[in-house]
Amino acid sequence: MIRTFFFLTIFIVVGISGFVAYNVPDDILPERRFDFSLLDLDQNSRDISEWDGKVLVINFWATWCSPCIKEIPMFMKLQTKYADSGLQFIGITVDYSRQQVLKFVKTHGINYPILGGEDAIAVSEKFGNSSGAIPFTVIINRNGYIVSRYLGQMSQDKAQKLIFPLL
């Protein structure tokens, strides 16, 4: 009984600390996004500062990741609906095969920039994804501050709750 209580307490504390670490509003612990550049699918270098002044949703994903694939259609709908309000999704693929990513993007009609390259995983880690798991999503406000880090497949309700107050 005591052992069960001990493990349950540890589970709750770890769970709460994980939630706080990945969902910290920028007015509590402001952290400015760092500068980075990655290649787009046409092999052009794209700098994150290109989207300054917009609400950024940076999603780390791969073509072989089932939860990643499931959330992409929702991201595409939000991109279409709220682009004029200053919302910008950016997909960062951790795939090694550019051809596979090109085929996937064309097949699914992804309507936001896809970046990648050898440094994609390092960029994910620098944003706080120490486990290297995907999908991993970072939301940045118009002033360039990280508002949220979300590990795992994001639901539409969660996306709206995190994004809409920033628009």
| Structural domain boundaries in the chain | 25-166
The answer to whether residue 103 scores a pLDDT higher than 60 is: yes
Pick the CATH number of 25-166 from 3.40.50.970, 3.60.70.12, 1.10.260.40, 3.40.30.10: 3.40.30.10
Q: How distant is the alpha carbon of residue 121 from its chain centre?
A: 12
Distance CA 149, CA 26 (A): 11
Closest CA to 149 of 55, 29, 22: 22
Distance CA 103, CA 31 (A): 36
The phi and psi torsions of 144 (rounded to 5 degrees) equal: 90, 15
The answer to whether residue 124 scores a pLDDT higher than 50 is: yes
Q: Which residue has the higher pLDDT, 20 or 104?
A: 104
| pLDDT (0 to 100) of residue 23 | 52
| pLDDT (0 to 100) of residue 29 | 58
- Across all residues in the chain, what is the average pLDDT? 87
The answer to whether residue 12 scores a pLDDT higher than 90 is: no
The answer to whether residue 2 scores a pLDDT higher than 60 is: no
H/E stretch holding 146: strand 146-151
The answer to whether residue 52 scores a pLDDT higher than 80 is: yes
**Range 103-130 average pLDDT:** 95
Per-residue pLDDT reduced to its tens digit, 16-38: 434 444 554 444 557 999 999 99
